């Protein structure tokens, strides 16, 4: 059966006519192809439980056990992305891509909505395919052949207390294991990658975890990163996904950024995330 795949505004696609709890090889192949083309795919009206969630993620690749987020009490594969009514800050409230600080960055993540606020709580996605394609010639020339440093320590480490969202989330136990971040060696990746699935070129820096451009003096490095971050956030390359009960998102960490909007104060939001291992980037 051919799935109904519909572009989702400027970024991503919605896939209709599939039950992720009963997925066959033909449907999985179509999902993989859409994932490679669009960078993020969305599903509606799903009724998957935790076992189904794990099985779907595992069909896409080996599962990465998150080192810093609180885990589901019965399923260590599932990281909890949670905000309680009395908490001010959410997790992921800024443009970023997951796990760029790893030597082999994650392929992607599968996020399932478990409890949603009555309004708000949407997620923005930005296409780094489109961002690369639209780079001005001068900016493109500045990053030709460049590599960037990515770090977990300044976000998840014991000295990361300058970040309000990290401070509150660490204090209330939503994130932790700062010692692991402290000893995680910074890594470098190309500023522009050739995507391993699609073959497309993509911008691979992000405001959360990219800290420097290799070989540049600090001021020049920060100036170049600021230009790249501003370019990546251009509204031409981003789109908002509005969650509903039964919504599932599968995004590619090599081809997109995302941003969890923190606009539902006084309400609870619980999402379950599984991250999938990737491969070296070139």
Q: Which residues are catalytic?
A: 96, 98, 258, 273
With beta carbons less than 8 A apart as the criterion, state whether 189 and 150 touch.
yes
Rounded distance between C-alpha atoms, residue 131 and residue 193, angstroms = 12
Q: Determine the distance from the C-alpha atom of residue 8 to the mean position of all C-alpha atoms in its chain, rounded to a whole number.
A: 17
From the list 87, 90, 107, 89, the residue with the least C-alpha distance to 98 is 107
Rounded distance between C-alpha atoms, residue 59 and residue 44, angstroms = 19
In angstroms, what CA-CA distances link 111 with 158, 218, 243?
Answer: 27, 36, 11
With beta carbons less than 8 A apart as the criterion, state whether 129 and 39 touch.
yes
Quick count: other Cβ atoms within 10 Å of Cβ 242? 13
**CA angle at 244 for the pair 240 and 249, rounded to the nearest 5°:** 60
Rounded distance between C-alpha atoms, residue 215 and residue 198, angstroms = 29
The DSSP output letter for 185 is: P
Q: In terms of DSSP H, where are the helices of 39-101?
A: 50-60
Q: Determine the distance from the C-alpha atom of residue 213 to the mean position of all C-alpha atoms in its chain, rounded to a whole number.
A: 21
With beta carbons less than 8 A apart as the criterion, state whether 31 and 41 touch.
yes
Rounded distance between C-alpha atoms, residue 100 and residue 188, angstroms = 9
**CA angle at 79 for the pair 167 and 162, rounded to the nearest 5°:** 15
């Amino acid at each position: 059966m051919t799935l109904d795949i519909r572009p989702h505004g400027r970024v991503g696609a919605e896939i209709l006519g599939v039950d992720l709890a009963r997925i066959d090889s033909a449907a999985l192949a179509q999902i993989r192809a859409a994932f490679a083309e669009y960078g993020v795919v969305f599903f509606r009206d799903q009724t998957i439980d935790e076992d189904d969630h794990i099985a779907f993620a595992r069909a896409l690749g080996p599962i990465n056990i998150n080192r810093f987020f609180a885990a589901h009490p019965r399923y260590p594969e599932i990281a909890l992305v949670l905000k309680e009514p009395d908490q001010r800050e959410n997790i992921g409230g800024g443009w970023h891509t997951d796990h760029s600080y790893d030597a082999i960055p994650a392929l992607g993540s599968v996020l399932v909505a478990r409890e949603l606020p009555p309004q708000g709580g949407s997620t923005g996605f930005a296409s780094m395919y489109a961002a690369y394609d639209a780079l001005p010639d001068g900016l493109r020339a500045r990053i030709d052949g460049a590599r960037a440093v990515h770090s977990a320590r300044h976000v998840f480490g014991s000295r990361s207390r300058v970040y309000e969202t990290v401070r509150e989330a660490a204090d209330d136990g939503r994130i932790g294991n700062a010692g692991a971040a402290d000893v995680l060696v910074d890594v470098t990746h190309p500023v522009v990658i050739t995507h391993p699935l699609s073959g497309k070129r993509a911008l691979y820096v992000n405001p959360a975890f990219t800290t420097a451009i290799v070989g540049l003096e600090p001021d020049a490095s920060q100036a170049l990163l600021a230009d790249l971050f501003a370019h990546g956030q251009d509204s031409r390359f981003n789109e908002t996904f509005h969650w509903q009960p039964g919504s599932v998102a599968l995004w590619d960490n090599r081809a997109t950024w995302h941003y969890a909007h923190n606009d539902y104060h006084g309400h609870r939001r619980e999402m379950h995330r599984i991250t999938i291992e990737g491969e070296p980037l070139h």
